[in-house]
Structure 1
Amino acid sequence: MIVWLNGTHGVGKTTAAALVQRLIPDSRVFDAEKVGETLMDISPGLPHTDNFQHWPPWRSLVVDTARRILDYTGGTLVMPMTVLVEPYWREISEGLDSYDIPVHHFVLHADQRTLMRRIQADSVMGPSSFRLNYLSPYADAFQSWLGAEAHVIDTSELTPAQAASEVATAVKTLGTPTQL
């Protein structure tokens, strides 16, 4: 199965994923951003874009890579990846469904003020304009489809460990999803 951690850049998906992985037996983290980085390495052979998710091969490669990892290792993949474009999410989720891979889709959410504070105070990336630029698209996606699509965990007042615990508890409580 897959535990997909969605949410805007800077909300804490990568940190939470590492902690979730420790709480779910036989799980491993697969960061689909690495697939995008591989595609960027072959650029300029691809059309110019500000986001590798706009390249159709990224979406199908994420599905195929996740499937092959699960075929090889079994268990659970914890995938921290922002997907804000609904048709892209549909393509990915339908692709995973075509391989009978169940997905628990979570959105790690925080209010805009908390997100701004976290992004500005990030000791690793610093105040990232890239992350700040995604606050509005995230808010739009959350209001229009994402908030209703996934299990929302409001992290505004949670530590990363508490957010990870909520994800792991929800996965255990919900069991294996039968449909995306």
Structure 2
Amino acid sequence: MLLWINGPFGGGKTQTAFELHRRLPGSVVCDPEEVGFGLHRMMPSSLRGDFQDFSGWRQGVFEVLDRVLHKHEGVVIAPMTVVDPRYFAETVGRLRSAGHDVRHFALLAERETVLNRLRDRGLGVAPLFRLVGQGDLLLRREQFAVDKLDYCLAQLSRPEFAEHIWTDTTVVTSVAGRIADMVGLTLAPNTDGRMRGRLRRMAVTARHARR
């Protein structure tokens, strides 16, 4: 089974993916973004653009996930924003056509909720920046995500991008639990306390913030 976790940039996809991975023994996270980073590293910065526009990215994502799904016995988790219906068809749709059990979820939230999450990618310093009147300073390094936010939210609200999960008032552990329930999976108990959970999420952010 493939769990494709979609959503706007900063919408909680990666946190949810790694919470599922942590509590699903035998699962693996296969991040399609890594294929894009590889393509970017092969090109000068002036030629890069959005790697999803490269047919090689869509083909590479399909081939890698197709192979993993054939060879790996556990659940495969792919956190990736895909909002263009054509690209969605060439990745999620193509994997389904190949006979794989693909469960797709779009994590949605109000615009201000996502902006606050993007600010918090600063590893917990957002409240300090707000206190000194510089709350939006942290968003400058997330300009790509901010520029795409309204478009992503509008696209992902469309029926073809269901299943929709609204996450404004839902913590990551509960989002992961809801996904598991919807696909008939049983998660291992969450043994994290409040502080340990926050430190774990900060570590995920530090490792996987958009490069």
TM-score (norm: length of structure 2): 0.74
Deviation at 1:59, TM superposition (A): 0.5
Matched, 1:130 2:129: no
Deviation at 1:129, TM superposition (A): 1.1
Gaps in structure 2 of 5+ consecutive residues: 125-137, 186-211
Matched, 1:142 2:141: no
Deviation at 1:26, TM superposition (A): 2.5
Q: Is the 8 A contact 1:23 1:168 kept in 2?
A: no
CA–CA distance in structure 2, aligned partners of residues 47 and 72 of structure 1:
38
1:103 maps to which residue?
102
- TM-align CA RMSD: 2.1
Equivalent runs, 1:1-180 vs 2, <5 Å: 1-44=1-44, 48-124=47-123, 126-127=138-139, 128-143=142-157, 145=158, 147-172=159-184
Structure number with bigger Rg: 2
What SS is found at the alignment partner of 2:9?
A: coil
Aligned CA distance change for structure 1 residues 70 and 47 (closer, same or farther; 3 Å): farther
Amino acid at match of 1:166: R
Deviation at 1:48, TM superposition (A): 3.0
CA–CA distance in structure 2, aligned partners of residues 47 and 116 of structure 1:
28
What SS is found at the alignment partner of 2:76?
A: strand
1:176 maps to which residue?
none
Deviation at 1:94, TM superposition (A): 3.2
Aligned pairs, number: 170
Deviation at 1:136, TM superposition (A): 1.5
Amino acid at match of 1:130: F
Using CA pairs under 8 Å that are at least 6 residues apart, name the structure with larger relative contact order, 1 or 2: 1
CA–CA distance in structure 2, aligned partners of residues 93 and 79 of structure 1:
10
What SS is found at the alignment partner of 1:101?
A: coil
Q: Is the 8 A contact 1:23 1:165 kept in 2?
A: no
Amino acid at match of 1:38: G
Aligned CA distance change for structure 1 residues 142 and 149 (closer, same or farther; 3 Å): closer
Amino acid at match of 1:118: R
Q: Which moved more, 1:164-173 or 1:123-132?
A: 123-132
Gaps in structure 1 of 5+ consecutive residues: 174-180
CA–CA distance in structure 2, aligned partners of residues 119 and 149 of structure 1:
22
CA–CA distance in structure 2, aligned partners of residues 6 and 48 of structure 1:
26
Amino acid at match of 1:15: Q
Q: Is the 8 A contact 1:24 1:168 kept in 2?
A: no
Q: Which moved more, 1:116-125 or 1:63-72?
A: 116-125
